[in-house]
Amino acid sequence: MDQAPEKTEAVIADPVLAQFGSAASWSYGNELIVFGSKSRDDLIDDGTNRSTVSPKLHAVKWNTDIYATNLRKILNESHGTFLEAQEMAKDKQTDTTAYLKISRGYRSILKANIECIRDDLENTPAMENESQDLRKTLESELQMIEIIELIWHLTEILYLQSSTSDCIVPVYQNWIWSHFQEPLTWTQHILQQPIPEKDARYWDTVYGLVLQGRTQLVFRLLSSHSHANNYAFKTILHLISIMPEFSKSRTPGEFDSEWRMWKTQLSNLISQGQLSSCKNVELLAKLLIGDEETLRTHSELCDTWYGYLLAVLLYKRPTAKLIELQNFTQECIDTFGGETQLENWDFILLAAIDLDLLKTIKLCSSSFSNWWFPAHLTDLLFHTGRLDNEKMKYGERLREFLLLDYASSLFSHESLWQVGVAYLDECKVYGKRYLQRLLENIPIQSEYKARKVLRVCQDKGITDSYQVICRIMSTKSLKSQRYSNALNWALLCNDGKLSALISDQIMREYEKTGKFTAKDVLSNLGKRMLLCPELTFLGKYYEFHELYSNKQFGECISLIVQLLSSNIAPRKYWFTLMKDIGPVLKETHVQSTIFEAKQLVHFAAELRIDFQLQKESFDYKRSGLAARDIRTLKETQKTVLETLNTLISEYNVRCVESVKENTDDMDM
């Protein structure tokens, strides 16, 4: 019975795929990541199949109708109804009537959007080229939402409104009336004509109304006929006026008895030829008594097999119970050309009528290009207890599975992911696990969005995802050389390795420009400075520059000596530190302890050795500079070292003389 889904081909123009083959990995939502079947190393190192093209990752998405404007409205509006259903579920005393209200709430959202799309279609020119694509899109959306509402309404009738012992015909009739109103529309049009029966669709409309059981409208149309006073018309009008109607005030047995008596009376009139003076009236009478041949020949007026099912029930088994519906479906399907003529949604309706709920849900999942419908319908049926039986013993797991898939699809949209969080909250087994993975894979284009995602991580207690997102944002900022942002994000997730890498980049940038690029973060490090040695050094070195700006030269020397003697300062930055202390040493009034002065002499000597051996700060092979530039750099550094050596020597002498003077003063 299941029909194969339509196949769609997508061409990926990538030479690597053509040369080496393709492989794929699931992403999330309706997305695959397609890539070359060999790894990057294989592509580069393979001597026989060398490729000059770098392999790429291709994101292949399908069934992305959740991006359509009208469907997004449904997703957003139904979110509140879903949450209301979850609140109701917490009260174990909630009855089916309350969930029936929820179901109608979902359908009202669908119907409101159907009307919006119809309005849009009316306002979209049909002939303009630029409007044709829009009309096709709107028509496709309209058809899909109408079908969803049709199926939802039927499942509501079968599973929420009715029990297996109820007479199903009245509620089934209301379902048909709600969705197939063409006879009603034509009736209104015909009754406005000066001579109604002159309208070409007069009798087809009468028969269509009969097949839907709209006998009051049939009475109005017949009464408007110019021959309404003829015997055949008067007879059929009288019989229609006394035709038994099912109501809650009478038992099915009482109604069935009255209906059979009425049917016998009309059959006798037909067999006696009392209606033969008007063939149209006689044909109408045959429809009313359920004559099989007459019903079949006029079945096209019902449009669909399930519309024809109503006619069969009305005039052959008007007291049919819910469990009897399936006994009549095959006859109706055969009348409409058999199962080969059915669409996917026809099989869903059949499964629902057969009371095969598992198959209904399965077909809803496979027949529509998004998870909204099966997820919400299954959730509602689960809360009403319809999934709680032997055949559906995995009902709770099925509900969660569908909600997980629906939520995952929402995460593929830039704004709907926040709605998806609420659905994952209702998945008690795997919800948090899915949320963690999905949050880590959200495309984050801005810091504003990143912070929204982080708030969710904090609210849900997902520490790992919080750290992953911070690392991603830090790495992005680092690649774009926004070092302040990069360091800030790294500090948020307390990532020592990343902070060390960024600190090193900031120092390298300082060496090139003589300026710090992350002052806002460095000036407010506090205890976070201790996250890693590199950050500790950077923070202290920035503090040195602050002291220098405030002309606290003595503290500057003490801090530099502390950094050097404690090995906090990496040796590769010694030259930079010693060079920066030069201006401080020129200040003749600045003095420190002899120990600090000797330390400066010691480190200056170590620095000269590094220069001679071309180590650390003087490793020119790793600089990437041209030979001429290296020679220039060497000369510059040599001059700086000589100047620095002179300044340190003079400073050392001043310190010694100062100590002697202080000693002489004490002796005197």
List pLDDT tens digits, range 316-345: 999 999 999 999 999 999 999 999 999 999
Of 303, 325, 347, the residue at which a domain comes to its end is 325
Domain membership flag for residue 498: no
Sheet of 58-61, strand order: 22-26, 31-36, 58-61
Confidence (pLDDT) at 650? 82
Instruction: Give percent above pLDDT 90 in the chain.
Output: 56
Question: Same domain for 598 and 638?
Answer: yes
Confidence (pLDDT) at 390? 52
- Count of structural domains, the chain: 4
Question: Same domain for 309 and 180?
Answer: yes
Q: Dump pLDDT digits (tens) for 516-546.
A: 888 889 888 888 999 999 999 999 999 999 9
Domain membership flag for residue 473: no
Q: How would residue 40 be classed by pLDDT, with cut points 50, 70 and 90?
A: very low
Residues 93, 83: Cα–Cα separation, whole Å: 18
Confidence (pLDDT) at 314? 96
Which domain range does residue 137 map to? 67-164+355-410
Confidence (pLDDT) at 31? 65
Question: Same domain for 405 and 384?
Answer: yes
Q: How would residue 67 be classed by pLDDT, with cut points 50, 70 and 90?
A: low
Q: Dump pLDDT digits (tens) for 212-249.
A: 999 999 999 999 999 999 999 999 999 999 999 888 77
Q: Dump pLDDT digits (tens) for 581-632.
A: 888 888 767 666 778 888 888 888 888 887 777 766 676 666 667 778 778 8
Question: Same domain for 146 and 200?
Answer: no
Question: Same domain for 113 and 54?
Answer: no
What residues does 25 pair with on adjacent strands?
33
pLDDT average, residue stretch 26-41: 61
- For 32, phi then psi, to 5°, come to -120, 145
Question: Is the model's pLDDT at 408 over the cut of 80?
Answer: yes
Confidence (pLDDT) at 64? 53
Higher pLDDT, 654 or 622: 654
pLDDT average, residue stretch 386-408: 84
Residues 582, 375: Cα–Cα separation, whole Å: 71
Confidence (pLDDT) at 193? 94
Question: Is the model's pLDDT at 396 over the cut of 80?
Answer: yes
CA-nearest of 260, 276, 261, 281 to 210 is 281
SS3 321: strand
Question: Same domain for 223 and 243?
Answer: yes
Q: Dump pLDDT digits (tens) for 146-159.
A: 999 999 999 999 99
Question: Same domain for 149 and 185?
Answer: no
For the residues of 44-101, what is the DSSP string, one character each?
A: HH-SSS--SSPP--EEEE---GGGSHHHHHHHHHHHHHHHHHHHHHHSTT--HHHHHH
Higher pLDDT, 92 or 65: 92
Domain membership flag for residue 460: no
Q: Dump pLDDT digits (tens) for 553-595.
A: 888 888 988 998 888 888 888 888 888 888 888 876 766 677 8
| Radius of gyration of the chain from its Cα atoms, rounded to whole angstroms | 42
Residue given tokens 């037909």 in the structure block: 270
What residues does 33 pair with on adjacent strands?
25, 59
Of 279, 306, 325, the residue at which a domain comes to its end is 325
Are 556 and 547 spatial neighbours (Cβ–Cβ below 8 Å)? yes
Per DSSP bridges, beta strands 58-61 and 31-36 are antiparallel
Question: Same domain for 240 and 296?
Answer: yes
Higher pLDDT, 308 or 577: 308
CA-nearest of 598, 591, 530 to 561 is 598
Question: Same domain for 275 and 406?
Answer: no
Which residues are CB-neighbours of 173 under 8 A, at least 6 positions away?
Answer: 212, 213, 310, 314
Higher pLDDT, 8 or 167: 167
Confidence (pLDDT) at 595? 82
Of 378, 393, 410, the residue at which a domain comes to its end is 410
Residue given tokens 């009603």 in the structure block: 184
Domain membership flag for residue 440: no
Confidence (pLDDT) at 661? 63
The whole-model pTM stands at: 0.79
Domain membership flag for residue 608: yes
Confidence (pLDDT) at 663? 60
Domain membership flag for residue 563: yes
Domain membership flag for residue 503: no
Residues 23, 32: Cα–Cα separation, whole Å: 10
Domain membership flag for residue 149: yes
Question: Same domain for 75 and 41?
Answer: no
Question: Same domain for 145 and 184?
Answer: no
**Alpha helix ranges (H) inside 317-371:** 326-335, 344-353, 357-367
Question: Same domain for 49 and 94?
Answer: no
